[in-house]
């Protein structure tokens, strides 16, 4: 016989059921958003769909990669490392003494052989290795207000130790300007009979010439300290026209970098002999760095760089291989019917 | 000599926490069992802060990122120290463009260790963006919107009680639905805590034409659709009253007056309306009466009596008040009964009795209880419909209903005075065998009862409302040993565990 009273039963209300039908004030109103019944896209990944998507991605990526590689291969690039070869043979063991001795002639002559036709414009770069322009002390050592505003000449707050010289502020101040690159290059074609003019206009960014460097700010007291780090500046030209300085003060993110020196607005033919007369002034021997001169043309993707093309090609090839692998697995282990149906096994009622 | 009246102090007079005091004009306050050694004080502790799985996983991710940040900073600082020391060799600078000969403490080659330590803190600040602190804010916003969706969910709205879902805090939104097994000790526990008066047997006549769930299921299995259709037609005709599923034209709407045993029926309904501990609550606006009861079957009995003409509408400390249908005049008559004693139900006695005095001064003992204990207390002289009632009780039990036997007796003044003296003395005693003395005094009175009939109450089965297939929740219940008259099993049938937060 079942028990008469259920154990632990709380108070029970014997209220009329008809009265409850009237008040439905607390019932939530129906809306498709609040009931989370809006339309939604829920893709089901079946082998056919996945294989097709992978093949499609491969078909798109491989042509892009090949086009990028071809564009990079069209670029003609000549690189010449000259820091060791421009040191006299008797001072090879003491290069620092050579570069720091101002009485020694630093002139050096290098020869380029042009392997293929180079269409104008031909860009001239200098390349430095193991030069850490991204060091925190180096990066912080400048004052943007001083570069921009002639009234802020005395703002040398972050420029130490190159903030003042002989008690007067340096314009432009800081380690970056102080260590300005000062090698120079001049070019002739043939055997000294034709000079290739180097165009140095517009080698810096237009936004930096217009906004970052002031038109009325002139170099003052520059390289007047006990130590001279780099090149001199023309005191009669404003900073916005000193494009070598502007190029140098766009800080490189990595220790190996190239910076634009100028342009040659003439075509070079295959087999041409280009003779470079350079002034080897910059000290790269203390920190065991390298100096190189680069002549390069430019394609629609920029300079000679195959990384992007190779990345696209590799990803496309990987997609093709994955599609092939999935197709083989699909044929070797075909899917059964229960894999495709979505149902759940109900829990058994244990008694 | 004036004898001082004594009142018994029993657990009934103790007001525990969250108790409500009703029908009481004044109380004497006695403070007992207080202090920090009591169980309620020892159980009072600070509630632990609940953290969900997502937050714990997020904590682990952030600790991992913090470790990576510290590792990167340490390695970077070590290399920074090494290269800073190498910047000055024999007084000659290597990286001359950094001016290592004229340097602050942050970049001084001669004190490279201090520079490395300071660089560690600089690196920690520079790389601090590794730690996604705003992730906590984003997760909190997502949970807030999720709680709003929970509050607006129509599927979580309960129609019967007009209660929507209410997420009081959004801490544990994603822990919803973690229950996978419900463990009970017997199947009777899985009810809706509601009972319906469906059948009764009065003076050997069975009343009530309702069909129970068990009968409907058996009818479907046997393949007789007539009973199922009849039940559905009957239920649709009348308005549903909670706790009352009784249909019989012979006794409803006052028709019991013309039945052959109308006197027994009148006493039966009066017993249903008096023998309980319910408290009525009258709605001020509509005037309807609802009942607060200790158990749902008591409420079902009082509702049944009300529907059949005996409305219980008021209770005081010493009295019970009814609207009764008078068979002689056919009108509602107000009657009151002085409540002398209540002999409570417990699992040992399996019965409950009240002793009342009506307006004419007669004393009655009304009793209801299980048939196993009630039939042995009946008077041996009245055997007219005893066996028929027993048959009805067996039929009701087979149909899945719970049954109670109703009986009464009239007491004379001398017998009641003797019982009152013994019962009050037993209640006022403070000895160890107080409960036994009370039971002995009550047992002497609950004898030679006159049988009235039996009631049948159906459980509202909550298992029917479970959709086990869709929720994936398994139910594991051990059948009550007393139901089968078997010795309790040596091992439990339940092996699964319930996950809880």
> B403 contacts in A (CB within 8 Å)?
1
Provide the Cα torsion A171, A173, A178, A182; round to 10°: -40
Which pLDDT score, from 0 to 100, does residue A235 have?
A: 92
Cβ–Cβ contact B272 with A under 8 A: no
Mean pLDDT of all residues in B238-243: 63
- Position with higher pLDDT, A280 vs B182: A280
Cβ–Cβ contact B499 with A under 8 A: no
- Which tens digits make up the pLDDT trace of B61-92? 988 899 999 999 999 999 999 989 888 878 87
In-domain check, residue A14: no
Question: CB–CB of A109/A275 below 8 Å?
Answer: yes
- B188 CA to chain A: closest CA distance, Å? 7
> B348 contacts in A (CB within 8 Å)?
none
**Per DSSP, what are the bridge partners of residue B312?**
B322
- Say how many Å lie between the first and final Cα of chain A, rounded: 19
CB spacing of B162 vs A20 below 8 angstroms: yes
Phi first, then psi: what are they for B62, rounded to 5°? -70, -35
**Residue numbers of B between 75 and 114 with CB closer than 8 Å to A:** 92-99, 102-104, 106-107
In-domain check, residue B44: no
Question: CB–CB of B421/B379 below 8 Å?
Answer: no
CB spacing of A4 vs B242 below 8 angstroms: no
> B404 contacts in A (CB within 8 Å)?
4
CA proximity to B436, closest of B420, B457, B422: B422
Specify whether A127 is located in the same domain as A58: no
**Residue numbers of A between 144 and 173 with CB closer than 8 Å to B:** 160-162
From the list A16, A31, A287, which residue is nearest B288 (CB)?
A16
**Residue numbers of B between 230 and 249 with CB closer than 8 Å to A:** 239-243
**Is B185 an active-site residue?**
yes
**Residue numbers of A between 71 and 90 with CB closer than 8 Å to B:** none
Averaged confidence pLDDT in chain B: 77
Query: Of A110-114, B11-15, B189-193, which range is least confident?
Result: B189-193
CB spacing of B468 vs A11 below 8 angstroms: no
Distance (Å, rounded) from C-alpha B243 to C-alpha B286? 19
Specify whether A68 is located in the same domain as A110: no
Which pLDDT score, from 0 to 100, does residue B8 have?
A: 74
Give the domain CATH number at B332: 3.40.1110.10
Question: How many CA atoms lie less than 13 Å away from B309 in the CB half-sphere?
Answer: 21
Write the burial class of residue A248 (CB in 10 Å: 0-12 exposed, 13-18 middle, 19+ buried): buried
Specify whether A195 is located in the same domain as A313: no
Specify whether A121 is located in the same domain as A266: yes
Question: CB–CB of A264/A210 below 8 Å?
Answer: no
Specify whether B302 is located in the same domain as B389: yes
Best of B83, B84, B96 to mutate (most A CBs within 10 Å, chain A) = B96
The DSSP symbol for B158 reads: B
For residue A24, the chain B residue with the least C-alpha distance is B162
**Residue numbers of B between 14 and 43 with CB closer than 8 Å to A:** none
In-domain check, residue A55: yes
Specify whether A92 is located in the same domain as A223: yes
The DSSP symbol for B480 reads: P
Q: Tens-digit pLDDT profile for chain A (351 aa)?
A: 333 433 333 344 443 444 445 556 677 878 788 888 888 887 878 888 899 899 989 999 999 999 999 999 889 999 998 988 898 878 887 888 998 888 888 899 888 889 988 987 899 999 998 899 999 889 889 888 889 889 888 888 788 788 888 887 998 899 999 999 999 999 988 876 788 879 988 999 989 888 889 988 999 889 888 888 889 899 998 999 899 899 999 889 999 998 999 989 888 889 988 989 988 999 999 998 989 999 999 988 888 889 999 899 999 999 989 899 989 888 888 866 666 665 545 554 444
- Which tens digits make up the pLDDT trace of B291-344? 878 777 788 888 888 888 888 888 887 888 888 888 887 877 888 888 888 887
What share of residues in chain B are helix, strand, coil (percent, to 5)? 40, 20, 40
Phi first, then psi: what are they for A25, rounded to 5°? -70, -30
CA proximity to B238, closest of B224, B253, B227: B253
pLDDT band at B472 (very low <50, low <70, confident <90, very high): low
> B102 contacts in A (CB within 8 Å)?
161
Specify whether B205 is located in the same domain as B304: yes
Secondary structure element (H or E) that encloses residue B420, with its range: helix B413-428
Which pLDDT score, from 0 to 100, does residue A259 have?
A: 93
Specify whether A134 is located in the same domain as A276: yes
Rg of chain A taking only CA atoms, in angstroms: 36
Cβ–Cβ contact A351 with B under 8 A: yes
CB spacing of A3 vs B299 below 8 angstroms: no
CB spacing of B241 vs A17 below 8 angstroms: yes
Specify whether B123 is located in the same domain as B212: no
Specify whether B276 is located in the same domain as B296: yes
In angstroms, what CA-CA distances link A109 with A83, A125, A199, A317? 12, 17, 20, 47
Query: Of B144-158, B208-222, B457-471, which range is least confident?
Result: B457-471
In-domain check, residue B280: yes
Q: Is the pLDDT of residue B488 over 50?
A: no
Specify whether A107 is located in the same domain as A245: yes
In-domain check, residue B250: yes
Specify whether B227 is located in the same domain as B371: yes
Specify whether A289 is located in the same domain as A308: no
Question: How many CA atoms lie less than 13 Å away from B186 in the CB half-sphere?
Answer: 12
Specify whether B69 is located in the same domain as B138: no
Best of A2, A10, A14 to mutate (most B CBs within 10 Å, chain B) = A14
Specify whether B157 is located in the same domain as B231: no
In angstroms, what CA-CA distances link B150 with A39, B141, B145, B492? 19, 14, 9, 37
In-domain check, residue A339: no
Distance (Å, rounded) from C-alpha A281 to C-alpha A183? 5
Specify whether B226 is located in the same domain as B154: no
**Residue numbers of A between 243 and 302 with CB closer than 8 Å to B:** 283, 286-288
Give the count of domains, chain B.
Answer: 3
**Residue numbers of B between 114 and 143 with CB closer than 8 Å to A:** 122
CB spacing of B157 vs A35 below 8 angstroms: no
Specify whether A70 is located in the same domain as A158: no
In-domain check, residue B424: yes
Secondary structure element (H or E) that encloses residue B334, with its range: strand B332-343
Q: Is the pLDDT of residue B264 over 80?
A: yes
- A157 CA to chain B: closest CA distance, Å? 14
In-domain check, residue B303: yes
Helix axes B296-307, B262-274, angle to 10 degrees: 140
Tokens coding B326: 């008078």
In-domain check, residue A129: yes
Distance (Å, rounded) from C-alpha B429 to C-alpha B28? 19
CB spacing of B472 vs A26 below 8 angstroms: no
Cβ–Cβ contact B374 with A under 8 A: no
Cβ–Cβ contact A24 with B under 8 A: yes
> A135 contacts in B (CB within 8 Å)?
95, 98
Question: CB–CB of A123/A298 below 8 Å?
Answer: yes
Distance (Å, rounded) from C-alpha B501 to C-alpha B499? 7
Q: Which residues, in sequence order, are CB contacts of A66 under 8 Å at separation 6+?
A: A309, A313
Write the burial class of residue B395 (CB in 10 Å: 0-12 exposed, 13-18 middle, 19+ buried): middle
Specify whether A138 is located in the same domain as A64: no
> A13 contacts in B (CB within 8 Å)?
242, 290-292, 299
Distance (Å, rounded) from C-alpha B323 to C-alpha A330? 81
- Position with higher pLDDT, A162 vs B488: A162
Q: Domain range holding A52? A: 45-74+301-328
Residue B501 assigned to a binding site: no
| SS3 letters across chain A | CCCCCCCCCCCEECCCHHHHCCCCCCCCCCCCCCCCCCCCCCCCCCHHHHHHHHHHHHHHHHHHHHHHHHHHHHCCEEEEECCCCCCCHHHCCCHHHHHHCCCCCCEEEEEEECCCCECCCEEEEEEEECCCCCCHHHHHCCCHHHHHCHHHCCCCCCCCCCCEECCEECECCCHHHHCCCCCEEEEEECCCCEEECEECCCCCCHHHHHHHCCCCCCCECCCCCCCCCCCCCCCCCCHHHCHHHHHHCCCCCCCCEEEEEEEECCCECCCCEEEEEEECCCCCCCCCCEEEEEEECCECCECCCCHHHHHHHHHHHHHHHHHHHHHHHHHHCCCCHHHHCCCCCCCCCEC
For residue A230, the chain B residue with the least C-alpha distance is B97
Q: Which residues, in sequence order, are CB contacts of B72 under 8 Å at separation 6+?
A: B123, B127
Specify whether A220 is located in the same domain as A307: no
CB spacing of B152 vs A35 below 8 angstroms: yes
Q: With H, G, I as helix, E, B as strand and everything else as coil, classify residue B331.
A: coil
| SS3 letters across B231-285 | HHHHHHHCCCECCECCCCCCCHHHHHHHCCCHHHHHHHHHHHHHCCCCEEEECCC
CB spacing of A28 vs B473 below 8 angstroms: no
Rg of chain B taking only CA atoms, in angstroms: 37
Question: CB–CB of B385/B438 below 8 Å?
Answer: no
Q: Which residues, in sequence order, are CB contacts of A343 under 8 Å at separation 6+?
A: none
Specify whether A149 is located in the same domain as A280: yes
Q: Which residues, in sequence order, are CB contacts of B59 under 8 Å at separation 6+?
A: none
Specify whether B202 is located in the same domain as B267: yes
**Per DSSP, what are the bridge partners of residue B341?**
B355
Specify whether B294 is located in the same domain as B274: yes
Residue B402 assigned to a binding site: yes
In-domain check, residue A16: no
In-domain check, residue A266: yes
Best of B19, B81, B86, B99 to mutate (most A CBs within 10 Å, chain A) = B99
Other Cβ atoms within 10 Å of A345 Cβ, number: 7
- B52 CA to chain A: closest CA distance, Å? 23
> B195 contacts in A (CB within 8 Å)?
12
- B235 CA to chain A: closest CA distance, Å? 14
Mean pLDDT of all residues in B200-205: 87
Residue B46 assigned to a binding site: no
- B369 CA to chain A: closest CA distance, Å? 8
A67-73 long-range contacts, Cβ below 8 Å, gap at least 24?
A: A67/A309, A68/A301, A68/A306, A68/A308, A68/A309, A68/A312, A69/A306, A69/A309, A69/A310, A69/A313, A70/A309, A71/A299, A71/A300, A71/A301, A71/A309, A72/A299, A72/A301, A72/A304, A72/A305, A72/A306, A72/A309, A73/A306
From the list B153, B242, B350, which residue is nearest A15 (CB)?
B242
In-domain check, residue B434: yes
User: Residues for chain A: how many in total?
Assistant: 351
Which pLDDT score, from 0 to 100, does residue B473 have?
A: 57
Give the count of domains, chain A.
Answer: 2
Question: CB–CB of A139/A254 below 8 Å?
Answer: no
CB spacing of A12 vs B480 below 8 angstroms: no
Specify whether B384 is located in the same domain as B450: yes
Question: How many CA atoms lie less than 13 Å away from B150 in the CB half-sphere?
Answer: 19
For residue A97, the chain B residue with the least C-alpha distance is B92
Tokens coding A221: 């007291």
| Catalytic residue (choose from B86, B101, B180, B185) | B185
In-domain check, residue B26: no
Best of A12, A94, A142, A160 to mutate (most B CBs within 10 Å, chain B) = A12
In-domain check, residue A29: no
Q: Domain range holding B162? A: 132-175
Question: CB–CB of A213/A162 below 8 Å?
Answer: no
In-domain check, residue B302: yes
In-domain check, residue A33: no
Which pLDDT score, from 0 to 100, does residue A79 have?
A: 92
Residue found under tokens 């029970």: A12
Q: Is the pLDDT of residue B252 over 80?
A: no
Specify whether B204 is located in the same domain as B289: yes
Q: Beta strands B351-357 and B363-369: pairing type?
A: antiparallel
Residue B421 assigned to a binding site: no
């Amino acid at each position: 016989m079942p028990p008469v009273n259920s154990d632990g039963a709380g108070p029970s209300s014997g209220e009329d059921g008809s009265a409850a039908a009237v008040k439905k004030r607390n019932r939530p109103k129906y809306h498709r958003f609040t009931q989370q019944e809006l339309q939604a896209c829920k893709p089901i990944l079946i082998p056919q769909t996945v294989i097709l998507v992978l093949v499609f991605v491969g078909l798109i990526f491989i042509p892009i990669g090949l086009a990028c590689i071809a564009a990079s291969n069209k670029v003609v690039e000549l690189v010449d490392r000259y820091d060791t070869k421009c040191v006299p043979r008797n001072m090879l063991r003491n290069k620092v003494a050579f570069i720091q001795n101002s009485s020694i002639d630093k002139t050096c002559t290098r020869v380029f052989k042009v392997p293929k036709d180079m269409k104008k414009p031909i860009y001239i770069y200098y390349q430095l290795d193991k030069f850490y322009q991204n060091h925190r002390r180096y990066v912080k050592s400048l004052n943007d207000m001083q570069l921009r505003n002639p009234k802020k000449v005395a703002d040398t707050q972050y420029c130490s130790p190159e903030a003042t010289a002989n008690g007067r502020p340096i314009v432009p101040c800081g380690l970056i300007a102080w260590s300005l690159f000062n090698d120079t290059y001049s070019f002739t074609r043939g055997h000294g009979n034709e000079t290739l003019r180097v165009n140095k206009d517009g080698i810096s960014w237009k936004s930096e010439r217009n906004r970052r460097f002031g038109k009325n700010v002139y170099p003052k007291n520059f390289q007047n300290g006990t130590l001279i780090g780099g090149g001199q500046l023309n005191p009669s030209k404003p900073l916005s026209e000193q494009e070598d300085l502007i190029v140098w003060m766009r800080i490189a993110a990595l220790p190996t970098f190239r910076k634009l020196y100028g342009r040659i607005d003439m075509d070079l033919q295959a087999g041409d002999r280009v003779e470079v007369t350079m002034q080897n002034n910059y000290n790269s021997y203390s920190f065991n760095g390298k100096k190189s001169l680069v002549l390069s043309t430019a394609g629609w993707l920029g300079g000679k760089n195959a990384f992007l093309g190779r990345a696209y090609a590799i990803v496309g090839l990987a997609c093709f291989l994955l599609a092939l692998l999935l197709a083989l697995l699909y044929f070797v282990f075909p899917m059964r019917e229960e894999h495709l149906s979505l149902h759940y096994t109900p829990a058994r009622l244990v008694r | 000599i004036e004898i001082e009246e004594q009142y018994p102090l029993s657990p009934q007079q103790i007001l525990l926490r969250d108790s409500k005091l009703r029908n009481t004009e004044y109380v004497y306050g006695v403070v007992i069992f207080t202090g920090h050694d009591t169980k309620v004080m020892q159980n009072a502790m600070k509630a632990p802060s609940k953290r969900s799985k997502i937050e714990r996983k997020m904590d682990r991710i952030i600790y991992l990122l913090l470790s990576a940040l510290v590792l990167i900073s340490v390695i970077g600082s070590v290399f920074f120290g090494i290269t800073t020391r190498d910047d000055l060799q024999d007084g000659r600078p290597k990286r001359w463009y950094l001016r290592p000969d004229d340097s602050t403490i942050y970049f001084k080659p001669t004190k490279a260790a201090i520079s490395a330590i300071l660089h560690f803190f600089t690196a920690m600040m520079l790389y601090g963006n590794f730690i996604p602190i705003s992730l906590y804010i984003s997760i909190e916003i997502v949970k807030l919107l999720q709680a709003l969706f929970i509050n607006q969910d129509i599927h979580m709205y309960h129609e019967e009680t007009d209660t929507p879902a209410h997420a009081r805090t959004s801490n544990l939104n994603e822990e919803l639905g973690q229950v996978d097994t419900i463990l009970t000790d017997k199947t009777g526990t899985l009810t809706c805590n509601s009972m319906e008066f469906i059948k009764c047997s009065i003076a050997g006549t069975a009343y009530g034409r309702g069909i129970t769930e068990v009968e409907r299921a058996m009818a479907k299995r046997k393949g007789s659709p007539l009973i199922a259709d009849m039940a559905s037609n009957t239920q649709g005709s009348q308005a549903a009253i909670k706790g009352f599923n009784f249909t019989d034209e012979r006794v409803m709407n006052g028709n019991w007056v013309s039945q052959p045993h109308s006197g027994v029926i009148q006493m039966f309904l009066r017993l249903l309306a008096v023998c309980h501990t319910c408290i009525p609550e009258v709605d001020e606006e509509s005037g309807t009466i609802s009942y607060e009861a200790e158990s749902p079957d008591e409420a079902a009995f009082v509702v049944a009596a009300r529907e059949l003409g005996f409305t219980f509408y008021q209770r005081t400390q010493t009295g019970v008040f009814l609207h009764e249908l008078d068979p002689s005049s056919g009108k509602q008559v107000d009657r009151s009964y002085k409540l002398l004693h209540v002999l409570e139900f417990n699992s040992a006695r399996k019965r409950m009795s009240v002793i009342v005095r009506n307006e004419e001064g007669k004393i009655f003992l009304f009793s209801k209880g299980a048939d196993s204990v009630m039939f042995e207390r009946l008077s041996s002289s009245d055997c007219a419909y005893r066996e028929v009632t027993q048959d009805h009780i067996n039929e009701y039990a087979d149909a899945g209903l719970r049954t109670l036997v109703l009986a009464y007796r009239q007491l004379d003044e001398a017998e009641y005075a003797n019982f009152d003296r013994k019962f009050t003395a037993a209640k006022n005693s403070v000895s160890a065998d107080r409960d036994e003395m009370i039971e002995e005094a009550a047992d002497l009175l609950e004898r030679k009862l006159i049988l009235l009939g039996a009631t049948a109450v159906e459980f509202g089965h909550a298992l029917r409302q479970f959709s086990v297939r869709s929720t994936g929740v398994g139910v594991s219940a051990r059948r009550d040993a007393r139901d089968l008259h078997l010795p309790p099993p040596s091992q439990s049938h339940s092996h699964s565990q319930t996950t809880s937060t």
